[in-house]
Amino acid sequence: MFYREAGDFKTTYADDSQTFPIKFDRYRYWAVLAFAFLVVPFIINDYWLNAVVLPFLIYSVAAIGLNILTGYCGQVSLGSGGFMAVGAYSCYKFMTSFPGMDIFSVILLSGFVTAAVGILFGLPSLRIKGFYLAVATLAAQFFLVWLFNKVPWFYNYSASGQINAPERTVFGYAVTGAETHAWAVYLVALVFVVVLAVVARNLTRGSLGRKWMAIRDMDIAAEIIGVNPMTAKLSAFAISSFYVGVSGAMFFVLYLGAVEVGEAFGIGKSFIILFMVIIGGLGSIFGSFAGAAFMVLMPVLLKNVMVGQLGWATDLAAHFEFVIVGGLIIVFLILEPHGLAQLWRLAKEKLRLWPFPH
Amino acid sequence: MKFTKLAAAAVAAVITAAPVMADLVVPSLSYRTGPYAAGGIPFADGYADYLTLINERDGGVGGEKIKITECETGYNTEKGVECYEATKGDGALVYEPLSTGITYQLIPKATADNIPVHTLGYGRTSAKNGDVFSHVFNYPANYWDGASGMVNYLLETNNNDISGKTIALVYHNSAFGKEPIRTLEELGKKHGFKLTLLPVDHPGQEQKSQWLQIRREKPDYVLMWGWGVMNQVAVQEAANVRFPMENFIGIWWSGADHDVLPAGAAADGYKAVTFHGVGSDFPVYDDIKKYVVDAGKAAGSGDTVGSVLYNRGLYAAMLAVEAIKDAQAATGKSDITAGELRDAMENLEITEARMESLGLGGFGPEFKVTCENHGGDGLVGVAQWDATAKTWSLISDFKPTDSEVIDALIKEDSEAYAKENNIESRCN
């Protein structure tokens, strides 16, 4: 009834190729943005920010990054944790070497550094693919973590090897360090997430995204129709690493504030981001958000229900959490192998017919 | 439909985690799961059992009951942050995170929220300088005291001459394990021993190459900064390469019963430094048995009573309770705030008489906290494992460490932190 193409006439090419062709979707999109920018900052507190919202936003960026590489370009990567570490450590080096730089340029520059590293580790993808590439990116993961542990220059020769984010302000409000306001940190993260998501969405709809998908679906066929596999694969690695690097930088400065590479950016992080992408849906920007929400919210929710509501012992709850989240992942993969994004697509198909399905 | 219900449940569950103001709230950021649970469980049990004892036997502190809110961190910093944010709203008085990584997260956060953090023998060593770290306390001893205590013990057993000896440090490759390196390097220069560094990556089950290197290079002594499953593996590997156990010394986090038991008789003679007493031969244990264990109120499964880390958890809880008592005496009210507790912790004095009155005579060293010194005097003893009797026993009394080397390093590190974060001097 409300959700339909009929009656929504497009008179220009720009209108015809817009992101949300259905009017209802457009309104919903603006409503979500308005809520996120105008309502949430007034109600958010430290708990919501640090336990739920901030990890969700940051993992969303990381998941979009990995989705570009794995979901759109078909190159499996297990190095996301390592690339996040590159983002975090370059962010730290920029912040301590150039104290005058503002936080936005620091985070973006960290993304560019990560993109360069990503291209370097993307080179093997020109010769190998599939499982073999996954192993090569796994090597990147272990090498990068080892590097940041081994070379003291990266952590400014501190005794413990930890890096700490110094305080930075935006318009006079602290967004990193100890004296932050929840809303300020939230808004900085939100600006990054919204801009990066819009850019990613449009990249994947444009010629670059089509080249990636051509490579993903069949690389030889893509080459025959004129897609250069080298530029397509390396651009996917570069842009994906840029996103992952930005998320690593945000993870360090906005979220944790103090980071130790082995613990924060270990192989576990790579797997979690890969799970987000698979559960959310390969090749979908919405899926990246859905997957991140699932992996971040589920444990917090389960913990609050089991410990907070039912009063179970904390260790019992923690073990059950593994069982339930693991079980849900398997159930999802069996019932809907295309992830949460596919559920959303089906819901939209049903909405088009609602309330007269026949 | 399923998803809207799920989302509604999510919102409901998170909202109901809202603050409840009641009693003296002492959060316990414990870890009873994961690769470090072997150490996390007895510590959390000891911490909880002592607070339960105070509630059951004395009716709380100054008439106020203590409420323990336990939160599982799994030794993971992200979960630690979530736990901190979830519990601080309840009016949390003091945090004892039992993780160096989480401590680093909490130092700026807790300082901004005016909540003290007590890191008993772990955390950031330079937090001893209270002038810079106003809300962090690491009494009665820290990692650098531990490192120096080990070297002092080696000096003692070698007629004060260890020049030319080689010492290998097997350490957990994290902020925790890296802490002693600089101190040992400085001490190496001072006493002329050669230090070899052998990092072991999280979680610590893979140590074959490190111990092969030890077998090849035959260092005179091996020191260890390990935690969790890493300790058991290291002791077993040391036995496998026939490294003499009496030349193998662990930090206090590598000196628990469960670390040496798996290696059986081969672990006999393994040593670990400690800053508190061992065993359950203290009067307070009679009360714990009577009021807590026999009453069925013991935390966890109740089988860790009297183990090394249980003792340490109990010690941490005892120090927290004593500081609460001081804060109540200083403010004249029973319902104190976290800020008042911080002030009391800064003036805490633990004497032998005081420990005696608590049924813990001789359990730990005497110390006095001041504004400049948040770390106590750093007295370190050495305990040795007897595999036949299955007990730890003190073989060296609590002795002072090399303050000349340590104080200079603490000054350097804390001043760097103060400069990075624009912290003004606040003492005197």
What six digits make up the tokens of B274?
């400690």
Element (H, E) at B72: strand B66-72
All structural domains of chain B with their residue ranges: 22-141+279-377, 143-274+379-407
Which contacts qualify for B362-368: CB closer than 8 Å, 24 or more apart? B362/B277, B363/B276, B363/B277, B363/B282, B363/B311, B363/B315, B364/B140, B364/B275, B364/B276, B364/B277, B364/B315, B364/B398, B365/B140, B365/B141, B365/B275, B365/B398, B367/B139, B367/B140
In this structure, the answer to whether residues A133 and A20 fall within a common structural domain is no
- Given a cut of 60, is residue B2 above it in pLDDT? no
Question: Cβ–Cβ of B421/A167 closer than 8 Å?
Answer: yes
Query: Domain range for residue A173?
Result: 44-353
- Distance (Å, rounded) from C-alpha B225 to C-alpha A31? 54
In this structure, the answer to whether residues A13 and A60 fall within a common structural domain is no
Residue A358 in domain: no
In this structure, the answer to whether residues A102 and A175 fall within a common structural domain is yes
Residue A165 in domain: yes
Over residues B226-243, the mean pLDDT reads 94
Q: Which residues contact B353 (CB under 8 A, 6 or more apart)?
A: none
Please tell me the predicted confidence (pLDDT) of residue B22.
57
> Of B224, B111, B236, nearest to B167 (Cα)?
B224
- Given a cut of 60, is residue A239 above it in pLDDT? yes
Please tell me the predicted confidence (pLDDT) of residue B21.
47
In this structure, the answer to whether residues A103 and A213 fall within a common structural domain is yes
Is pTM, for the whole model, over 0.80?
yes
When the pLDDT of each residue in chain B is averaged and rounded to a whole number, the result is 90
In this structure, the answer to whether residues A136 and A209 fall within a common structural domain is yes
Q: Best interface-test mutation with B: which of A50, A97, A160 has the largest number of B CBs within 10 A?
A: A160
Residue A39 in domain: no
The secondary structure of residue B275, as a DSSP letter, is S
B70 touching chain A per CB within 8 A: yes
Helix residue ranges per DSSP H, B89-196: 100-113, 143-157, 175-178, 181-191
Please tell me the predicted confidence (pLDDT) of residue B6.
52
Write the pLDDT tens digit of every residue in B246-256: 999 999 999 99
Helix residue ranges per DSSP H, B284-346: 284-287, 308-331, 338-346
In this structure, the answer to whether residues A23 and A116 fall within a common structural domain is no
- Distance (Å, rounded) from C-alpha A155 to C-alpha A96? 10
Residue of B nearest to A182 (CA): B85
Q: CATH: 3.40.50.10490, 3.40.1280.10, 3.40.50.2300, 3.30.420.10. Which one for B143-274+379-407?
A: 3.40.50.2300
Over residues B79-107, the mean pLDDT reads 91
Interface of B with A in 76-115 (CB under 8 A): 76-78, 81-82, 85-86, 88-89, 100-101, 104-105, 107-109, 111-112
Tell me the three state secondary structure of residue B408: helix
Topology at the third CATH level for domain B22-141+279-377: Rossmann fold (3.40.50)
B67 touching chain A per CB within 8 A: no
Over residues A195-209, the mean pLDDT reads 95
- Given a cut of 60, is residue A141 above it in pLDDT? yes
Domains B22-141+279-377 and B143-274+379-407 belong to one CATH topology: yes
Most confident of B20-29, B42-51, B362-371: B42-51
Beta bridge mates, B171: B199, B225
Over residues B332-346, the mean pLDDT reads 93
Cα dihedral angle (B216, B221, B226, B229), rounded to 10 degrees?
A: 60
Please tell me the predicted confidence (pLDDT) of residue A179.
83
Q: Best interface-test mutation with A: which of B3, B6, B72 has the largest number of A CBs within 10 A?
A: B72
**C-beta of residue B167 within 8 angstroms of C-beta of residue B221:** yes
Please tell me the predicted confidence (pLDDT) of residue B45.
94
**C-beta of residue B38 within 8 angstroms of C-beta of residue B228:** yes
- Distance (Å, rounded) from C-alpha B114 to C-alpha B94? 10
- Report how many domains make up chain A: 2
In this structure, the answer to whether residues A239 and A276 fall within a common structural domain is yes
Element (H, E) at A174: strand A173-174
**C-beta of residue A66 within 8 angstroms of C-beta of residue A278:** no
